[in-house]
Amino acid sequence: MKRQSVKPDPGHAKSEALQYIPVRNEIASWQLKENNIVLIEYPLPLKPLFKSILQRFNKRPVVNPTKKLQLDTMGSQVWQLIDGKRDTKTIIKTFASYHSVSLHEAEQSVTAFFRELGKRGLISLEKPL
């Protein structure tokens, strides 16, 4: 018997993904600088082997180094919209109205930004209740 391949409906998957709520990771601290620019500081993960080598040569406990990320104006605006309540679709609509761009352009920009923040472990996307 031959299996039938079923492709997911991209429109359905996309609309479902836009309902997810971005949430800031608590390991990251951030501050609002002049001109409403956001500066995020977050710890860099150390591999266990590297951490054990550092511990051998340090008398004090090894603290993970931190990295700073300064967002541009648009990224800062989106970061401030992430409140754990707004879903992705709402953030995209707000971004589009702030910058007078189409929803498609706003969606491309915001989702790419979320992917980058996610890769760094700065946000997660949670399914709405």
Tell me the two tokens of residue 100.
């007078």
Instruction: For 79-91, give the DSSP string.
Output: HHH--SSS-HHHH
3-class DSSP state of 31: strand
Cα torsion 74, 76, 82, 86: sign: negative
Phi, psi dihedral angles at 126 (to 5 degrees): -110, 140
Q: Which residues share a beta bridge with 31?
A: 39
pLDDT tens-digit profile, the chain (129 residues): 444 434 445 555 777 889 999 999 999 999 999 999 999 999 987 777 877 777 777 777 767 789 999 999 999 999 999 999 999 999 999 999 999 999 999 999 999 999 999 999 999 999 987
Stated pTM of the model: 0.79
Of 119, 127, 128, residue with least CA distance to 25: 119
Tell me the two tokens of residue 107.
């969606």
3-class DSSP state of 59: coil
pLDDT for res 20:
94
CATH number of the domain at 26-124, please? 1.10.10.1150
